[in-house]
Structure 1
Amino acid sequence: MRDARPDVGRGALLTEAQRFLVLAVLIGICTGLVVVCFHAAIELLALAASRLAQRPGLAVLLPALGAAVAALVVHWSPVSGGSGIVQTKSALYVSDGAIPFGAVPGKFAACVLSLGSGTPLGPEDPALLMGAGIASRLGRLFGLTRRSMRLIAPTGAAAGIAAAFNTPITGVLFVLEEVVSGFDTAVLGSIVLAAVSSVVTTQLFLGENPLFSVPVVPSVRSAPELTALVVLGLASGLFATVYIRGMELVRYRLGAVHLPPAVGPFCAGIVVGVVGLAIPDVLGTGYLAMDGALHSQYTWQTMGLLALLKVAVAAVAFGTGTPGGLFAPTLFVGVMLGGATGGLLTTFLLPASEAQPTFLLAGMAGVFAGVFRAPMTAVFMTFELSGTAAAILPAMITSTVGFLVARQFHRQSILDLVASHEGAAFPSARLARPHGPLRVEDAMDAASTAAGAGVTVRHVPGQGWHVVEVGLDGVGVTLRQRVEPVYPDELLDVPMRSLPGAPIIPVISRLDATQLLGVITDDSIRRAYGFNASGQLQARDDDPAA
C-alpha cells in the first residue's frame, strides 16, 4: 500500500536525501527565528521584573508568581515541563520522533514566564525541545516516513541548542553524544546543516556576541599548573555528584507529596526570591555573573559561595517542576567552582601563576562533563565560548577527570536521573531488547481493546483517566473508578501493581497526557510473558528453542 500522506516536494527535481538536507536548512532557519524571539521575550520580561523588584516584597514574590503561572502552562501542556532534553529523547525513542507542535508555544510561554521572573535555570535545553518540535512539525508537513521522522527530530534539537548557545559545534556534539547516543552517519549531515543555519540566523538578529566575554586565556604548560587542573577535575566531579544528588533528593522528597500543580513551583519561587533578595547573582541564567567572574570582579571565597547557592536554588526550582533548563546553572556552578578552586590554589600554592581565567573555563568544562556525562561536548563548548585553542587542553583534563569521578560516585547523569524518576528508560524496547526486562510497550494492546463486557478507559477533562462501562449502543457511559495511566517505556511491573484494583490500565503519551496509545490488561500481560489463555507457558518467537 502506498503512503497516502502528502509528500511536499515529491518529484524528480530532488532526491530524497537532497530534500532531507534542504529541510534541515529550513528547520535551522525557523528554529533560529524562534530562539531569537525566545531570548527577546525573556529579556523583556526580566527588564519589567527588575523594575518591579525595586520593592523588596515584590522581589520575593516575582520568582514565585512566574514559576506558578509557568506551572499552570505545564499542566495544560505536560510536554512543556522539565528541561526539554528528556522529553525530546522520549519522543525519539518512544514516538518515532513525533512531538506535538503545541509543545513549541507551550515550552516558549512556560519558560519565558519562569526565566523572565528570575528562576535560576536556563533557556538552552528548552530551545532544544522547541527545535525538535519545529522539526517534527515540518517533517509531517513534508510527509516524511516514520524512519525519516526519527532522523529529523535530532536535527531540530541540534538547531535549538546551537542557536541558544551561539555555538554550532556544541549543538552538533551534544545531540550526537547525549540525545542520539551515537555518531549516526545517516543524521550527521542534516544535524550540521541545521545547527549552522540556526546560528547564522540568530547572529543576523543578535550579533556574534557570545554568552559572556572571555579575557585572554594564558597557556598552561607547567607541571604545577597541570597538577592543579587535575585537582580541579577532582573537585568538579565531586561537585557534579553533589549537584545530581541534590536534584535527586528534592525530586524524591517531593514525589511522595501530592500537591496542586502550581503549589510546588510557587513555594520554590519564594525560596529563590528570598535567596535572591540577599544575593541577586544567583537569579536567572547567571551569565552576567559569569562574565564578572571571568573579569576578576569576585573573590574566590565569593565564587565558592555562589557555586553552593546556585546548586541549592537550581535543585529546589527544577526539583519542584519549574520549567527551565539545566545547562545555564551547570555552567554557572562550573565557572564559580573553577574560580574558587583556582583562586585557592593560586593564592596558597601557585602564587606566580596567571592562569586564573583558565581555571574558570576548565571548571565549567569539568562540572558540565560530570553532570551531563558529555566530556567531548564540554571540551568543544569551552573552545567555542572562549574562542581560543589555549582552553582546549585544560578543558580536556578537567572534563575527563570530572567525568570519571562523577561516574564513580553516581552512575546516572542528571538526564538519566530525571528520566528514571519519570519511569523512562532509553533506548526503547523497539530498538534492541530481545531478552531484556519487559516494558509496557511489549504488552500493550490496541486502544480499542476492552476488558470484559463494555469495560474500557476514558479521559475526563479535569479528572484524569477513568475505567468506564459503555452501553451496548456505545453511548451510555458509567464511570467506575479513577485509574493512574502508565507510559509505554515504563517497566511492565508498574501496571502489574495496579491491575489487581483495576481491570484495564491506559497507556498514554509522555507528550500528551490525553492521548491514549493503548491499554494493558491481564490477558496482555500474560501474553507478554509467554502464557496462553489457559495459563500454559508457550515458546516465544525469539526463543532459539522454539
Structure 2
Amino acid sequence: MTISRNELRQAAGEDRSLLRLVAIALVAGAIIGCVGAIFRVALEHADRLRDTMIAWAHGHAIWGFLIIVGTCAIAASVAAWMVRRFSPHASGSGIPHVEAVLHEQIPPAPFSLVPVKFFAGLLAIGSGLALGREGPTVQMGAGIAVFAARICRLDWADCRVLLAAGAGAGLATAFNAPIAGVVFVLEELIHRFDRRVAVGTLAMLATAIPIARLFLGDASDFRVAPLSYPDAEAVPLFFILGAVAGLLAIAYNRTLLAALAVRDRFAKSPVELRAGLIGASVGILAWFAPELVGGGDQITQRALIGYESPAIVALAFLIRFGLGPLSYAAGTPGGLFAPLLVLGAQSGLLFGAACRHLLPALNIQPEAFALVGMAAFFTGVVRSPLTGIVLVAEMTANVTMLLPMLGACLVAMLLPMLLRDPPIYDSLREHTLRLEQQIRERCGACSKAPDNK
C-alpha cells in the first residue's frame, strides 16, 4: 500500500496541529490550576473570616446579629450586582453554560466572565450561601481556555476541545481529583469518547493539578476511617440505598427548579434585592448555626466519620435540602456538586444508622453508607455515575466501596429515568438558553434606542 505525498502532508499537518494544541493546553492548564487554587484558598480564608465575625458578633447581642445579617445580605447583593452589571452568564453553576456552548447553542462568553466569576463567587460562597466552589472553577477554566484559543487563533474545533478540557481542569482543581476531571469531560460535557478531547484534557490536567497542589497540598479532601468490605448479607442494602438516593434526587431536582420558578415570578424586582433577601436569610441561619452554611465540606467530613447523632444529622439534612435551592435562586455564582455531596453523605449516614439499628446482627458501618450515599445522590441528580464514583473515590482516597457504589449508583440512576425526571443540568441548560435570549433582546432594544444627543 503506497501513501501519496498529499496524504503525507496532511498527516504531518494533523500532527503539528495536535502538538500545538497540546502545547497550548499545557500552558492554559497551568494558569487554570493557579487561578483555581487561589480561588479555593481565598474561599477558605473567607469561611474563617465569617466564622470569626460570627463568634465576635455573639458578644454584641442585637447589634452583632444585625451586623452578621447585614453583611451576608450585602455580600450576596453585591455578587448579584456584579453578575448583572458585568457578566450575566456568570450566574449559577456555569456548567449548563459550558454545555450549551459545547452544543453550539450559544457562543462562548467574553473573558470578563472570569474575574466576575472569581470575585462574585468569593462573595456569594463566602457569605454563607450553600453553593459549591466547582461551578466557578469549571466556568473560569473554560473561559481561560477559550481566551487562550482565541489568542492563538485556533479554529472552532480546537477551541471546543480546549473549552471542554479547561472545564475539566477547573473541576479537578476544585476537588483535587484529576481522574474525575477527565471522566467529567467525556461523560457529562461531550457524552462520548473523543481522542482529541481526551488528549487535550490530559494535557491540561498534567499542569493544572501539580500547580494547584503547590498551593493546596496533595492530601485528599476528606479523611475516612478504614472501612471493611460489606458482608454478603449487607450488599442488598446498598441497592436499597440507591433507590432512596434516587427518590431524594428527584425531590431535590424539583425543589431546585421550583425555587427558580418562584424567583422568575419576581423578575421585575431588582436582582440585588432578591439576592440580598436570600443573603439575609442565610445570615440569620449563620447566627444560630454557623456550621450549616457555606459550601459544606465540614458537614460532609463530620458525616463521613459519624461525628454527630442521627437526630442532629436529620435536622441538618432537612435544612441543607432547602438551603441549597434557596441559595441557587439568588442568581450569584456557585455550583451544585459540593452541596450534593453534603446531602448524599448525610442521607447515606442516616440510612446506615437505621440499618444498624434494625439489623443488629449484621456488621454495618454507617460511615460506609455515607460514602456510598455521596456517589448515589450525585448520580441521581446529575446522571453521571462514573463521574460521581471516581470523584468520591478520589476525594476520600477510598476504593474499598467501589462495588457497593456501582450497585447504589445503578439504582439511583435507573429510578429517575423510569420516572421521567430529567438530569438537573439538562433542565438548567434550558434556563441558560432563556437567559441568552433575554440578553439578546436587551442588546437589540439598546441598539434600536434613539440617540438623544
Same fold (TM over 0.5): yes
Contact 1:115 1:285 in 2 (8 A): yes
Is residue 465 of structure 1 aligned with residue 425 of structure 2? no
- After superposition, the C-alpha distances for 1:473-530 in whole angstroms (9 at most, x for unaligned) are xxxx479xxxxxxxxxxxxxxxxxxxxxxxxxxxxxxxxxxxxxxxxxxxxxxxxxxx
Is residue 372 of structure 1 aligned with residue 382 of structure 2? yes
Partner residue of 1:239 out of 229, 242, 248: 248
Partner residue of 2:74 out of 65, 75, 80: 65
Matched residue, 2:3: none
Pick the structure with greater CA Rg.
1
Partner residue of 1:263 out of 257, 270, 273: 273
Contact 2:129 2:294 in 1 (8 A): yes
Helix, strand or coil at the partner of 1:15? helix
Matched residue, 2:299: 289
Is residue 189 of structure 1 aligned with residue 202 of structure 2? no
- Equivalent runs, 1:526-537 vs 2, <5 Å: none
Helix, strand or coil at the partner of 1:187? helix
Higher helix content, 1 or 2: 2
- After superposition, the C-alpha distances for 1:19-54 in whole angstroms (9 at most, x for unaligned) are 111112112111000011101222222222222223
Helix, strand or coil at the partner of 2:220? coil
Matched residue, 1:248: 257
One-letter code aligned to 1:117:
S
Matched residue, 1:222: 232
Matched residue, 1:511: none
Is residue 329 of structure 1 aligned with residue 310 of structure 2? no
Partner residue of 1:402 out of 393, 407, 412: 412
- Decide which moves more: 410-419 or 131-140: 410-419
Matched residue, 1:24: 25
Contact 1:369 1:378 in 2 (8 A): yes
Contact 1:63 1:273 in 2 (8 A): yes
- Decide which moves more: 63-72 or 349-358: 349-358
**Number of residues of Structure 1 aligned to a counterpart in Structure 2:** 430
Q: Which runs of 5+ in 2 are unaligned?
A: 1-11, 58-64
Residue 126 of structure 1: how far off its partner (Å):
1.1
Residue 18 of structure 1: how far off its partner (Å):
0.7
Matched residue, 2:62: none
- After superposition, the C-alpha distances for 1:276-322 in whole angstroms (9 at most, x for unaligned) are 33332321111112112222211222222222211101111102313
Matched residue, 1:519: none
Matched residue, 1:176: 186
Contact 1:111 1:323 in 2 (8 A): yes
Matched residue, 2:348: 338
Residue 405 of structure 1: how far off its partner (Å):
1.6
Higher strand content, 1 or 2: 1
Residue 458 to residue 421, structure 1, CA distance change in 2 (3 Å):
closer
Contact 1:120 1:283 in 2 (8 A): yes
- After superposition, the C-alpha distances for 1:139-193 in whole angstroms (9 at most, x for unaligned) are 1111101221112100100110011110011111112111112222221111122
Residue 251 of structure 1: how far off its partner (Å):
0.7
**Which TM-score applies when normalising by structure 1?**
0.74
One-letter code aligned to 2:129:
T
Helix, strand or coil at the partner of 2:446? strand
Distance 1:73 1:111 in 2: 10
Matched residue, 2:5: none
Distance 1:158 1:478 in 2: 47
Residue 95 to residue 105, structure 1, CA distance change in 2 (3 Å):
farther
Distance 1:71 1:272 in 2: 15
Distance 1:197 1:266 in 2: 39
Distance 2:206 2:274 in 1: 39
Helix, strand or coil at the partner of 1:322? coil
One-letter code aligned to 1:159:
A
Distance 1:181 1:350 in 2: 43
Contact 2:128 2:294 in 1 (8 A): yes
Distance 1:255 1:295 in 2: 40
Contact 1:236 1:367 in 2 (8 A): yes
Distance 2:94 2:154 in 1: 23
Q: Which runs of 5+ in 1 are unaligned?
A: 1-10, 426-438, 441-446, 448-456, 470-476, 480-546
Is residue 353 of structure 1 aligned with residue 363 of structure 2? yes
Residue 138 to residue 402, structure 1, CA distance change in 2 (3 Å):
same
Contact 1:96 1:147 in 2 (8 A): no
One-letter code aligned to 2:191:
S
Residue 59 to residue 408, structure 1, CA distance change in 2 (3 Å):
farther
Helix, strand or coil at the partner of 1:465? helix
Residue 422 to residue 154, structure 1, CA distance change in 2 (3 Å):
closer
Matched residue, 2:7: none
Distance 1:328 1:204 in 2: 22
Distance 2:396 2:53 in 1: 35
Distance 2:297 2:110 in 1: 31
Residue 322 to residue 350, structure 1, CA distance change in 2 (3 Å):
farther
Matched residue, 1:41: 42
One-letter code aligned to 2:321:
V
Contact 2:90 2:332 in 1 (8 A): no
- Decide which moves more: 320-329 or 105-114: 320-329
Distance 1:161 1:296 in 2: 27
Matched residue, 2:53: 52
Matched residue, 1:213: 223
Residue 424 to residue 211, structure 1, CA distance change in 2 (3 Å):
farther
Distance 1:385 1:359 in 2: 16
Larger RCO (CA under 8 A, 6+ residues apart): 2
Contact 2:352 2:364 in 1 (8 A): no
Distance 2:111 2:193 in 1: 27
One-letter code aligned to 2:325:
A
Is residue 298 of structure 1 aligned with residue 308 of structure 2? yes
One-letter code aligned to 1:171:
G
- Decide which moves more: 141-150 or 415-424: 415-424
- After superposition, the C-alpha distances for 1:233-285 in whole angstroms (9 at most, x for unaligned) are 11101111111111111111221212102111111112222233333232111
Residue 424 of structure 1: how far off its partner (Å):
5.7
Contact 1:53 1:62 in 2 (8 A): no
Residue 139 to residue 96, structure 1, CA distance change in 2 (3 Å):
farther
